[in-house]
Structures are given as C-alpha cells and as structure tokens.
Amino acid sequence: MVLDVAVLEIRRRVSRARERRECQVLLTRSAGMAAFEAIAERDVPGLAYVLDEGGTPLEATELSSERRTLLIAAACTGAAESVKYLLSRGALTTSSDAVGWTSLHHAAARGHDAVCRLLLQGGADPNARTESGRLPLDVVAATDAATRAVLEQWLSRRDERRSDEGGDAAGAAGAAAEVPAVRTFSGDPAAAVRALFGAPDCAALRAIVLGGAAYGESSSGVEQLRLSKFALEPQPSERTYGNSPKVSAWQELPSLPLRLEGAQACAWRDDNEGKSKVFVSGGLTQAAGARAYSWSAFVGTATESGLNWAEAAQPPAMSRAGGCAELFAHEGRRHVLLAGGVDMDGRALSTTESYDTDLAAGGIAWGTRGPLITPRAHFASGSLRGERVVLSGGAGGGELGRSLLPLYSSEQFLPSQNAWIGLPEMLRHSSGGRGCAGSVLSGGGGSFVVCGGDSGERITACAQMFEFEAQAWIALPPMRHARTGHCACALDGAGLLVTGGHDSTTKHDTDVELFDPRANYWIELPGVMLEPRWHAAMVAAR
C-alpha cells in the first residue's frame, strides 16, 4: 500500500477483509486491544474495521502504565499509513503518554522521519515538552541526521515566518494561543461598506443567498443585497411572509427550480456575455418528514432585475449535499469543483468531480478529480485566484447528523497535480467542526478566513485565518453571534460576508455580518428575510 492511499480505497479493502473474515480474529478480543494489535501489525483495514464496528474511541489509551494513545502507538511503530489514517479521523497530535511524550517525541526518538513529517503537517507542536522538559529535537539520536533535518527545517521555516511578521518566536506563539477580544463597531454600517470598498458604488457588487432550511422545511427562496444601493441608500423594504410583515434591505429574486438545502453553489463573471453566472448543484429537499436528494444542476444568469434560471443539460455523476462548489482554472479553462458532502446514506464523501463551464452548451462537461484526503461534509471552503481550492474543518466519519465527528484538519487541491495536499491543522480553541464556513481573501499572498462551527459540545463565534505565505493559522476577533450552518463569501477580496445559520437556541438565523480585515472587526449588516441555514451564498456583479 502506498503512503497516499485514499480513504475510499481503505473502505474497499475493509469490505474485502470482511468477506474474507480476516478481521474476525480482532473481534474475539476487546475492541481496544484489537485496535492496538492492528497498529502493531500495520493492518490499516483491520484498524478501520475496529474503529467503525467495535466502537473504540479514537483517543483510547493502552491499559499498561505507559498510557499510549493509538496515534502514539502508530508513531512508535513507524507505521506511516496508520498515522495518516488516524490523523484523517481526527486523532489529536497534542495527546501525550504517562511521562508527557507526544506522538512526535516517540517518532523522533525512533528515527521515523516520514512519520515526523506527517505529524508536523497534521498540527504536531515541535516545541512540546515532556514532563522532564525535553523537546522532540532533544530526543533525536545523535546519528539520525534525517529526522533531525526534518525537525530543524520545520522550526527554521516557522521562525522565519514569525520574524517576517515583526515579532520574536515567543511573542508569536503567545499571540497564536490567545483568542482576540471582540472589537465593537458602533458606526453607520452603510458608511463602513463605502469605506471598505473605497468607492461609493462598491463596484456594483451584490450578495446572493439561496435555498437552505427555513421555517422547518427546505426553501427555494433567493434574496440579494445590492451593496452599492445599500451603501448609498440604506433604505429597507417591507414584505409580508404569512401574516408577519418583515423589513429588510434585501430584495427577493426569482426562486430556485427546486427547494434545496445543503446545495453546492458558486458564481463567476462570463466575459463573453458580460454577465454573472450562478451555478447550483445537488442538495436535498426535506418536507413533511420526507427527504430526497437532488441530482440536478442549474445555471442562473444575473440580470439587472434578478436571476434567470435554466437547468444544465448534464447532471453530476453523483448526488451530494453539504459539500462545496469552488472555481479553479486548468489549461486555460474555468471549472467548478464539487467536493465532499454526504451521500444519500448519510456518509461523508471523499469523492470530487468538476464541471467545465466552457462545455456547458455541448460536450462532456463533467470529469472526475482526485479524492479528498479526509472524507468530510459541512466544512469551510474557498478558492485562491483559481490556482487552488482549500478546505478546512467540517465533520466526517459517521452518519449524517451530530454523530459525524468534528474535524479540524485542512487540505488544498492543486489543479496542476490533480491532487489534495495536507495543510497545517486549524487552531483547536477557535472555529471549525461541523457547519463552519469560510472563504479566501485574495489580497497580498492570500488568506483563508474560517468562522463559527459546532464542536459537538458548543457552537462558537470564534474565527481564525490561514495565511498562505506564512503557512500558519492566526486567531481573529470572534463574530458577534455564535453560529453553525451559515455561509461566508469574499467581497471582491476586501472583506468577508457571513449570512444566516443558527446557534444552540436556533436564534440569529437572519443575522448578517461583514468582517473588515483592515480594521480587524465585524460589522453588522441588515438581516436576510428567510432565516436561512444550511443554505448557499455568493457575491456576484451585475
């Protein structure tokens, strides 16, 4: 088995192992013991089977006095495939044994340089100390040049990044660990929007919210907020839903052809037509307790008065909900990448496919792309200038609902390689988990802002930002409201717009916030009308 084996292939092997009853011997012992035996034997399918079917906790420890976790045991054996699989399941790199040794300490002491590299990419701390104060670098054998080089190069790159940011290493570490306080904006939000874009007309941008779950059922509603109109004339309009009049600066647009929640959507500017296109694919419909998944894809054309919808001629190869639709460029052509989500059985997906926007009128527009490292759904995603697509957080590893385990890993798709590459793990105390949202701000070297999410214990308002040049996460001021199931989209690279979602009491469903990266605070904007959650949102030009 190669190092970069896909999780989907592991699942296939597990299925074959079941048929051959090769894992049956593991079930004759306790599930916890069986998991450690599978690691000792470098049996990834057996390990997967025990974790899935035996109910073994991911952070289970040995019954011996050493108290090693599964990840530590895998690091000790140098089983790179087992380490990678456990990291994909969300195993903690911060866990330590009875004397404070982490998985990185054990891998470094035994000369497993490839495992050290995997752990560092998965978020392991090279400055973690044992109870006696020893660093991973301190336990490397004097003759082990390869492992020492891995750790020293990682520390050197991080120190260089911190030096460039104008602070020493200790100061940077303290800043990363500290959650910034809330910064309050009390001025006129319309004036803030004008200041953010530096021009009164805000480049004719519009924010669009579509679909989602509203009033207990899936919605086909579509709304837009014209930022230029709001910035110049922030006058709300009044509409009536049922018997309740509501006031909002958002404008109702023609509805989607279907009621959808969890659909994948994005927008782009068609230079040939001089108009923006809105792409919507997949999702599910829930009404009266029934659930149905959509196989359709729709393309809407933005006009001065709204959106004209037309069903795409070619549906995707599979139905999914709670994934992402992000743009990327390859060989001079524009593509929409569909990735992750859940299938009709509620399983988190690692599959991806792409839609060639130039072949929409004829030819085979859909193609298969490389699988995700970690199957996931309800995550944050963004595209950096079409050069790469990045994903963070979400949930995976179980059935649809709260049984899906929260994830804090990150990965990026490189079109030139048709492959996903791991990125540093998110800050655990901040945003992430199921239902987090994010988007890429393209200023400078680019940054990926992720906010909110559900850890399984609480819904958070925290936010953090990944800087592509520094390859590091930093904490941001939290949003005004904790939320999950919301959307975040970049406003022409200048700010981040967050819409909808819900907190633990299902309040704040209509709230809209705008993050200004230059002022480093959140601005509250007029709320949407339909109380959307698990919806889609994007920014488009008229």
- Could you tell me which of 449, 434, 527 has the C-alpha nearest to residue 481? 527
Structure tokens at 374: 């970690």
- Cα gap 110→142, rounded to integer Å: 12
- Cα gap 297→301, rounded to integer Å: 14
pLDDT on residue 75: 93
Q: 189-541 has which CATH code?
A: 2.120.10.80
Could you say which DSSP state residue 68 is in?
Answer: -
Angle of CA points 202, 205, 209, to nearest 5°: 135
pLDDT on residue 175: 35
Q: Which residues contact 211 (CB under 8 A, 6 or more apart)?
A: 218, 219, 220, 221, 222, 256, 259, 260, 261, 263, 265, 280, 283, 532, 535, 536
pLDDT on residue 539: 78
CATH 3.30.420.40 fits 7-125, yes or no: no
Structure tokens at 295: 């196989």
Alpha helix segments (H runs only) across 264-304: none
- Cα gap 275→70, rounded to integer Å: 53
pLDDT on residue 368: 92
Point out which residues pair with 476 in neighbouring strands: 463
Q: Where are the domains of the chain?
A: 7-125, 189-541
- Could you tell me which of 7, 3, 2 has the C-alpha nearest to residue 371? 7
Angle between helices 31-40 and 44-53 (to 10 degrees): 160
Structure tokens at 199: 């021009």
Ordered mean pLDDT values, 10 residues apiece, the chain (542 residues): 44 47 40 78 83 69 73 91 82 83 92 90 83 87 90 73 43 37 51 54 68 76 73 49 49 83 88 83 78 83 76 77 92 92 87 85 78 93 91 76 75 94 84 85 83 86 89 86 88 79 67 82 77 77 60
Say if residues 284 and 260 touch (Cβ distance below 8 Å): yes
- Cα gap 361→115, rounded to integer Å: 48
- Cα gap 513→505, rounded to integer Å: 19
Q: Which residues contact 236 (CB under 8 A, 6 or more apart)?
A: 247, 248, 249, 526
- Does 189-541 match 7-125 at the fold level? no
